[in-house]
Amino acid sequence: MFSFLRAKGPALSKAERYAQATQLQLTWWRFRRHRLAMISGIVVALFYVIAIGADFLATTDPHATDSRTSYITPQPIHFFEDDGSFRPHVSGLKGVRDPKTFKLIYTVDPNRHVPVDFLATGYEYSFLGITTTRHLFALRDPQRGDGIFILGTDQLGRDVWSRLMVATRVSLTIGLVGVTISLFLGVLLGGISALYGGWVDTVIQRTIEVIRSMPTIPLWLGLAAALPNDWSVTAVYFSITIIISLLAWTDLARVVRGKFLSLREEEFVMAAELAGASTGRIIFRHMLPSFMSHIIAAVSLALPAMIISETSLSFLGLGLRPPAISWGILLQDAQSIQSLALAPWLLAAAVPVILVILAFNFLGDGLRDAADPYG
Amino acid sequence: MTTRRTFLGYASAMAAATPAASAWAQAVQATGSVTQSGLVGKLEGPIPGGGPTPAKFKEAPQLAELVKAGKLPPVEQRVPAEPMVIKPVESTGKYGGTWRRAFIGPSDGENGNRIMASDKLLFWDFTGSKIVPCVAKGYELSADGKTTTLFLRKGMKWGDGHPFNADDFVFWYEEMYLNKDIVPAPIADMSAGGKPGKLVKIDETTVQFQFANPYFLFPSMLAGDTLIGGGQATRQSAGNSYAAYAPAHYLKQFLPKFSSEAEVNAKAKAAGYESWIRMFHVKKDWELNPDLPTLGPWRTVTPINTPTWSMERNPFYYAVDTDGNQLPYIDKVVMTLAENIEVVNLKAMAGELDLQERHIDLQKLPVILENQDRGKYDVHLDLAFNGADTTLHVNMDFRGDPVVGKLLGTADFRRALSMGIDRDQMNETFWLGLATPGSSAPAESMPENPGPEWRKKWSTLDVAAANKLLDGLGLTQKDSDGYRLRPDNGKRLVIELLAVKAFMDWPKHAEMIAQHWRKIGIYGDVKEAERGLAFNRLLKSDHHIFVWTNGGTELLYLYSSWALPTDIASGVYGIEHAKWYASNGAQGTKPTDPKMLEALELFRSAASKQEPERNKIAQDIWKIMVDQQFTIGTCGQSPALMGVRMASRRLGNIPGRTCIAQHCRTPGSSRPETWFYKA
Amino acid sequence: MINFITRRLLLGVLTVWMISVLSFAIIQLPPGDFVDAYVANLAASGSSVSADEAAALRKLYGLGQPIYIQYGKWITRIITGDLGESMEWRRPVTEVIGDRIWMTLLLSFAALILTWGLALPIGIYSAVRQYSFGDYLFTLIGFIGIAVPNFLLALIILYTAFKVFGLSVGGLFSAEYALAPWSWDKVKDLAWHLPLPAIILALSGTAQLIRIMRANLLDELRRPYVVTARAKGLSEWRTILKYPVRAALNPFASNMAYLFPLLISGSVIISIVLGLPTVGPLLVKALIAQDMFLAGSIVLLLGVLTVIGTFISDLVLMWVDPRLRHQMD
């Protein structure tokens, strides 16, 4: 096996470094070479930054409704005044409903410029127990109907950008919490199944088969319909997460079990066994690292699947429900004919969904390749 | 004095208008942005009894061929000697065509039932305010109000050609209504002053409803969308067995009395039903059983539980136009199953549906208008008469939490909630500005409206006054977010708004109301629920406030379910109170609120009163309702519920505006049998 | 070999039984029962049902009895081939499901074929030409398939079809064929309507399979036997196709049986959006209306189909990977 590596190595010194490097170092070296994965990693990190700073990045109260701002098309922030001076502002808008077409027509009031301040005060929110009014951007002395609507507004006149920020937090954490639970269940049960074999294996495998043989939608429907109606938004949020992850662990368990079984036959495991290594050592020192790549690949696939699950559940009206805000709920708002025809910017919520899923996949891909010790 | 209305000649029919009716008919003038749109037409419609009986009858070409082939008796023998003569809106039409429509599943039976509304015994004219003949050519209410006599049409036939007469009423009363296996409990419609009434045959074409106490309301009940007056299509479908008549000659074979229980059970088993009762419920249901003889203009060909619910003309239909052409003009009705409302609306906009008002979404109006020429349809906006399409129905008997229960039962608390709602914002956002904001009381044009000031009382935005009322109730402590705290444990006071996405997107409405309530320090918690689960909660009165329409309450006596706790099938205002009312105090608990008691007593007293007095009582009830804010109205008198009508430009005799109301069986009162394809 | 097959069959029956218990339990989970939902529906359309009538209805449907007796009744009838009567549709379940199950199968099967047909060659190509432009392109397209929720795709396509072409996509048949008996023209009509939903449905599954295939093949390609084969001068494609692809197919095959319930689930959502006459919308409505027999039958039916799918995939697996055959005997 080493001859194989050495044959590929261009210089002896480098090969020596390779041979002496730890698994982690090897992974990192290889990962750095995978540019797309690196970029994706940065994108994912950015998304989690947004998730943490959602309220700070929001410009308007994401729940505040106003009929005067219903269905406003995305409005730019102007950075320069007409005289060329740098003074960021948005223009005042005036909306009138056309009595013939019933569409809301907004006209820009050229004389009214509402200044945009950096690190200014806006609506009040709590973050990590601190109550503050500080936002990245905010309007100075806004009148009713004024706002920074860079992604437009929805039917109830709520700012899409601000809602998107808060939704990002909710949807990303659902994915993260969910995948953690699935990973735990998957590795645990998959490992037990492979190691102990016999009736334990049979019971676990049957359970997996039963769960996977059921179309998930009815399972979700049944479980979500069983959630007590008077639960708080938070309770529903965690229940949905658990429901999704309870059904998602089976994939991971299968991968883990399958790899355990096939590795058991491999020479290096046999060698370790003959050398008198303990079962625990064989598993964690020899077997687990060798199929880490597969777990990472499975997790990278499971995470976006979780996010899609949440949006799908919301689509069927069984996921989170308003006033909670998530990507799924924003997309639910965008799914009517009138939204598609009159307010296509509501589809903006699809962009982060697509972006984050792509990023997670490329990241997982890069990690997978990198973690492969023979690569 | 005998209040006799026989409608035999068209002249007398016109004279039969009730005093209040003309007020309604004339005063329905749209205001505001609705008028500018040019989409609200003139309230008009076909007139039953709109001419003398023609000397000669004509028929559809297909039927003429069947007659020629000897498969059908000639039209003179099919149409009754005294047919219903309908004067169409524009002109007499021509035969032919298929009416394409969409429905959303087997629970959408009303979609078809409503176009069969001419199987009702009595009906309303196009204004919705005047009782007109229908299956019965006339009625007579005795001076003491204790008996109502119905006069049937001589020579009228069921859809299979068998005579329709008084025996079909006796059959319904004795074999269905009094059969505990079929109708387990008597209905309130059939009793007066707590005593059950009787239905008896006088002669072949005369039947009489007899009561022990005065029941002046009864003719209106027969004309209304009630259990007794709803007609065969709607009241003998979906598991119901009401509607006062049934095809005896056909249904006898499915009842044990006319053979034996063993025999009908064997028959049921052979056909795949568990028992004869199950089979009977299917056999008497026109939506499911194409063989069932009916009276309406069309009859089912492929049943509602298939992907296409289709109907064809009834060759024995009892109505003709003023030229003697047997109705309907349209050959077939084909309703396509659409899996969701978006698909219904898209199909309509693509011009794939010919006339659709059900499931058309007001929110889509700008898109619908945009595609008018491409889909070749006209858009009509029909305005409703009920107070509020979105009404906050307050549970007056909430026992889950004594603090919340007490507040919901306090008038000032409800008034504050009402004054905390910005109705103009709601109107603009959800009704495109087409609604009239105000209380839950019916439109000012309605005979039961207590006066214009009651449309406004406690029902305009006044944050200061609302806050003052709430402070006055001792709810002065607030948390850091500005929400008021409960007096008992210092936690935030939470008022739940239970909402269902149904005819309107009510959860969204509730979300906006909750935002408005922030200003009065009330935390509104929107609970969106699936319809079945929500109504299940209502049955247990396990909710704070339910968000739904109050449609139908414009005629309070005919449909009080969304105004007062009178309906034991709904616990929206407290199921125990409803039981108490329905059982005359024998069951349930008596409401403690004196004003609620007063309203219920007034309501109970009205059935035995003549119409002018009844209207006066209804006004008094509404005054109490609005003053007490038992139901909190927001915006109404709009086209939101079945009032956005998309009609193909190929169709003729389509009224400019129709009455949309529960009792008008929208679009029933504009008589779909008179519509026709111009080309 | 026969031993193995019988064992799998027995386990399959056990699985089916567990699925039946679970389906029935899930149907029982939501609060209330069919009569509640029924009453609610009537109330919404303006009719009312009194408590007495509701009680009579419950008696009629045997809803008052203990759950295990209701289950016993249900399963006994199913074993004798009687799926019971749908309470909401008031028709025998077999009739209600009728054509819809075939439409569901047809749609899912079309999507399945499409998924395999795309995933297999693309997966192999991506592994062999790792990090090539083609690898990135296919991966990107595949990922867009995963990333765009299929209901969103369905909705956008539905609206675009209307806006641009002036047609409403809803349904698998044109109006004139919906009711017509089967004919050559009807088949053609169906063939015209089928690809769009099948593609939407296939998009999400394809990417996943491409990834699995690519990952597995990459693992295999680095194994010593491949190096040996190459060293011995076997042609490149022969080297790849003869052994590593077959070995890599192992997890691929075990995954494809579960692709089926995934596709079925996906078809539920897009069928609702596109208004397709599959069991999907039927199932969702049945669950909401708590139409127990109908919902239970559909879940059970789909579960059984999946077990059969798994069984077939096991056989395929044995055929492609002799190591497993050996191990299982």
- Give tens-digit pLDDT for A84-120: 888 899 988 988 888 888 888 999 988 888 999 988 8
Predicted confidence at residue A230, as pLDDT, reads 60
Mutate to test the interface with A, among C141, C152, C164, C226 (most CBs of A within 10 A): C152
My answer on whether C204 and C318 are in the same domain is yes
Predicted confidence at residue C40, as pLDDT, reads 64
Mutate to test the interface with A, among C268, C270, C324, C328 (most CBs of A within 10 A): C268
Domain-embedded: residue C34: yes
Q: Categorize the per-residue pLDDT at A10 as very low, low, confident or very high, splitting at 50, 70 and 90.
A: very low
Q: Find out whether A66 and A145 touch, Cβ atoms under 8 Å.
A: yes
Check CB contact under 8 Å for A65 and B433: no
Residues in C 280-309 with any Cβ partner in A closer than 8 A: 280, 283-284, 287-288, 295, 298-299, 302-303, 306-307
Percent of chain B's residues with pLDDT above 90: 72
pLDDT at residue B12 above 70? no
Domain-embedded: residue C301: no
- Mean pLDDT on C33-50: 61
HSE-CB at C233 with a 13 A cutoff on CA atoms is 0
The verdict on A362 touching C (C-beta cutoff 8 Å) is yes
Residues of B whose CB is below 8 A from C268? none
Nearest C-alpha of chain B: how many angstroms from C93?
A: 11
My answer on whether C182 and C283 are in the same domain is yes
Which residue in B346, B432, B511 is closest to A97 by CB distance? Answer: B432
My answer on whether C128 and C263 are in the same domain is yes
- Mean pLDDT on A28-41: 82
Subunits close to A (at least 3 CB pairs below 8 A): B, C
- Mean pLDDT on B95-115: 90
pLDDT at residue B444 above 50? yes
Tokens linked to A188: 């645990």
Q: Classify B399 as helix, strand or coil.
A: coil
pLDDT at residue C241 above 90? no
Predicted confidence at residue B15, as pLDDT, reads 35
Which of C101 and B629 is assigned the larger pLDDT? Answer: B629
My answer on whether C206 and C73 are in the same domain is no
Q: Which residues contact A265 (CB under 8 A, 6 or more apart)?
A: none
Predicted confidence at residue C1, as pLDDT, reads 65
The verdict on C13 touching A (C-beta cutoff 8 Å) is no
- Scan for tokens 């056309």, then name that residue: A98
**pLDDT tens digit sequence for B542-596:** 899 999 999 999 999 999 989 999 887 778 999 899 889 888 888 889 999 999 9
**pLDDT tens digit sequence for A261-285:** 877 777 877 888 888 888 778 777 7
Cis peptide before B437 (omega within 30 of 0): no
Predicted confidence at residue C253, as pLDDT, reads 65
Predicted confidence at residue B139, as pLDDT, reads 96
What is the amino acid identity at position C193?
Answer: H
pLDDT at residue A373 above 60? no
Which residue in A226, A354, A369 is closest to C148 by CB distance? Answer: A354
Domain-embedded: residue C299: no
**pLDDT tens digit sequence for C73-132:** 778 877 887 777 676 676 778 878 877 888 888 888 888 888 888 888 888 888 888 778
My answer on whether C65 and C192 are in the same domain is no
Predicted confidence at residue A2, as pLDDT, reads 38
Mutate to test the interface with A, among B364, B401, B539, B546 (most CBs of A within 10 A): B364
My answer on whether C135 and C245 are in the same domain is yes
My answer on whether C50 and C194 are in the same domain is no
Q: Find out whether C317 and C250 touch, Cβ atoms under 8 Å.
A: yes
Check CB contact under 8 Å for A65 and B512: yes
Predicted confidence at residue B642, as pLDDT, reads 92
Nearest C-alpha of chain B: how many angstroms from A102?
A: 5
Which residue in A210, A294, A350 is closest to C19 by CB distance? Answer: A210
pLDDT at residue A11 above 60? no
Which of A95 and B89 is assigned the larger pLDDT? Answer: B89
| CATH (domain of C222) | 1.10.3720.10
Range of the domain at C24: 16-82
Q: Which residues contact B257 (CB under 8 A, 6 or more apart)?
A: B175
Predicted confidence at residue B97, as pLDDT, reads 93
Residues in A 121-140 with any Cβ partner in C closer than 8 A: none
Check CB contact under 8 Å for A297 and C211: yes
- What are the E-state strand segments in B125-213? 131-133, 136-141, 147-152, 191-192, 195-196, 198-203, 206-210
From C82, C110, C130, give the residue that closes a domain: C82
Q: Which of C213, C196, C295 is nearest to C254 (CA)?
A: C213
The verdict on A239 touching C (C-beta cutoff 8 Å) is no
- Scan for tokens 């959860």, then name that residue: B507
Domain-embedded: residue C51: yes
Residue A141's CB: how many other CB atoms inside 10 A?
8
Distance CA B136, CA B123 (A): 9
- Mean pLDDT on C255-267: 71
Residues of A whose CB is below 8 A from C148? 350, 353-354
Domain-embedded: residue C11: no
Nearest C-alpha of chain A: how many angstroms from B114?
A: 27
Predicted confidence at residue B20, as pLDDT, reads 43
Nearest C-alpha of chain C: how many angstroms from B173?
A: 17
Calculated CA dihedral for residues B239, B241, B243, B249, nearest 10 degrees: 120
pLDDT at residue B515 above 70? yes
Check CB contact under 8 Å for B496 and A230: yes
pLDDT at residue B24 above 60? no
Residues of A whose CB is below 8 A from B433? 97
pLDDT at residue A3 above 50? no
Which letter, b or e, does each residue of A83-119 get, where b requires 16 or more Cβ atoms within 10 Å of its Cβ? eeeeebbbbbbebebeeeebbbebeeeeeebbebbee
Residue A223's CB: how many other CB atoms inside 10 A?
20
Residue A176's CB: how many other CB atoms inside 10 A?
16
Predicted confidence at residue C38, as pLDDT, reads 67
Subunits close to C (at least 3 CB pairs below 8 A): A, B
- What are the E-state strand segments in chain C? 85-86, 91-92
Annotate B589-642 with three-state secondary structure: CCCCCHHHHHHHHHHHHHCCCCHHHHHHHHHHHHHHHHHHCCEEECEECCCCCC
Check CB contact under 8 Å for B350 and C168: yes
Domain-embedded: residue C134: yes
Which residue in A222, A355, A368 is closest to C215 by CB distance? Answer: A368
DSSP B471-533: HHTT---B-TTSPBBPTTTSSBPEEEEEE-BSSSBHHHHHHHHHHHHGGGT-EEEEEE--HHH
Q: Which residues contact B248 (CB under 8 A, 6 or more apart)?
A: B167, B168, B170, B171, B172, B175
My answer on whether C227 and C125 are in the same domain is yes
Check CB contact under 8 Å for B364 and A338: yes
CA distances, C214 to each of C125, C127, C227 (Å): 8, 5, 18
Q: Which of B577, B585, B537 is nearest to B560 (CA)?
A: B577
Check CB contact under 8 Å for A215 and C148: no
Q: Which of B504, B505, B480, B507 is nearest to B492 (CA)?
A: B480
My answer on whether C124 and C249 are in the same domain is yes
Nearest C-alpha of chain B: how many angstroms from A254?
A: 36
Tokens linked to B136: 């019965």
Q: Which of A110, A107, A93, A102 is nearest to A149 (CA)?
A: A93
Q: By mean pLDDT, which of A13-22, B129-138, C134-143, C267-276 is the weakest?
A: A13-22
Predicted confidence at residue B389, as pLDDT, reads 95
Which residue in B183, B235, B339 is closest to C271 by CB distance? Answer: B339
**pLDDT tens digit sequence for B248-290:** 999 999 999 999 999 999 998 888 777 888 889 889 999 999 9
My answer on whether C153 and C277 are in the same domain is yes
Residue B64: Cβ-neighbour burial (10 angstroms; 0-12, 13-18, 19+): middle
Q: How many residues does chain B have?
A: 679
Nearest C-alpha of chain A: how many angstroms from B400?
A: 12
Residues in C 244-273 with any Cβ partner in A closer than 8 A: 251, 254, 258, 261-262, 264-265, 268-269, 272
DSSP B54-123: PSS-B--HHHHHHHHTTSS--HHHHS-SSPEEEE-SS-------EEEEEE-STT-THHHHGGGGGGSSEE
Question: Domains (ranges, CATH) in chain A?
Answer: 42-51+163-370 (1.10.3720.10), 63-153 (no CATH)
Which of C29 and A35 is assigned the larger pLDDT? Answer: A35
Predicted confidence at residue B419, as pLDDT, reads 97
The mean pLDDT value of chain B amounts to: 90
**pLDDT tens digit sequence for A150-167:** 999 999 999 999 999 999
Q: Left (φ > 0), alpha (ψ -120 to 50) or beta: where does A224 sit?
A: alpha
pLDDT at residue A78 above 80? yes
Distance CA A162, CA A176 (A): 22
pLDDT at residue C11 above 90? no
Q: By mean pLDDT, which of B63-67, C39-43, C296-300 is the weakest?
A: C39-43
The verdict on A357 touching C (C-beta cutoff 8 Å) is yes
Predicted confidence at residue B521, as pLDDT, reads 95
My answer on whether C179 and C317 are in the same domain is yes
Q: How many domains does chain C have?
A: 2
Q: Which of B495, B498, B497 is nearest to B520 (CA)?
A: B495
pTM: 0.84
The mean pLDDT value of chain C amounts to: 75
Predicted confidence at residue B104, as pLDDT, reads 84
HSE-CB at A222 with a 13 A cutoff on CA atoms is 20
pLDDT at residue B237 above 70? yes
The DSSP call for residue A77 is P
Q: Find out whether C73 and C18 touch, Cβ atoms under 8 Å.
A: no
Which residue in B367, B428, B533 is closest to A341 by CB distance? Answer: B367
- Selection from A200-204, B11-15, B387-391 with the highest mean pLDDT: B387-391
pLDDT at residue B14 above 50? no
Predicted confidence at residue C149, as pLDDT, reads 76
Predicted confidence at residue C106, as pLDDT, reads 84
Which residue in C89, C179, C290 is closest to B305 by CB distance? Answer: C89
The mean pLDDT value of chain A amounts to: 81
My answer on whether C177 and C272 are in the same domain is yes
* Nearest residue of A to residue C254, measured between CA atoms: A254
Check CB contact under 8 Å for C31 and B535: no
